[in-house]
Amino acid sequence: MMKQDIVVVGGYGHVGGQICKMLGDVYPGRVYAAGRRLEQAESFCQTMNGKVKPLQLTADESVDWQWLERTKLVIMCIDQESPAFARKCLMNGTHYMDISAKGSFLSQLEKLNAESCEATGVLSVGLALV
């Protein structure tokens, strides 16, 4: 199966929503606004004219990871405490971009560089969209 999807975790929040809008215009139907609250994801996606799809997802170990099989890129727009989610993405050949404002967490992610990952990780200290 070819990986084509883009999953934006926190995709119906302020920053994640802007990212979904921009990517949805370029990759319609392949972008997912993901988060814990499916109803909010669905409500947000109804305003996207089918360009962005909803996905219920949590960033903990209880996740059903099947969605990674078709996902080329994950953009993380929520703060996390553990790098386990990023590790799982990278080990499964899914590129990972983290837009976090927590320097201590980004330091944890940098340590993944020493592991034999199958994809690329991009780290950022915050992103502000006006």
Instruction: Tell me the domains of the chain and their CATH numbers.
Output: 5-125 (3.40.50.720)
The pLDDT of residue 109 is 72
28 HSE (CA, 13 A, CB side): 5
Structure tokens at 111: 């340590």
Show contacts of 55-59: CB within 8 Å, 24+ apart: 55/7, 55/11, 57/7, 57/9, 59/9, 59/85
Q: What tens digit of pLDDT does each residue of 14-50 get?
A: 999 999 999 999 999 999 999 999 999 999 999 999 9
Predicted TM-score (pTM) of the model is 0.85
Residue 83 makes CB contacts below 8 A (sequence gap 6+) with 105, 108, 109, 111, 112
Is pLDDT above 50 for 130? no
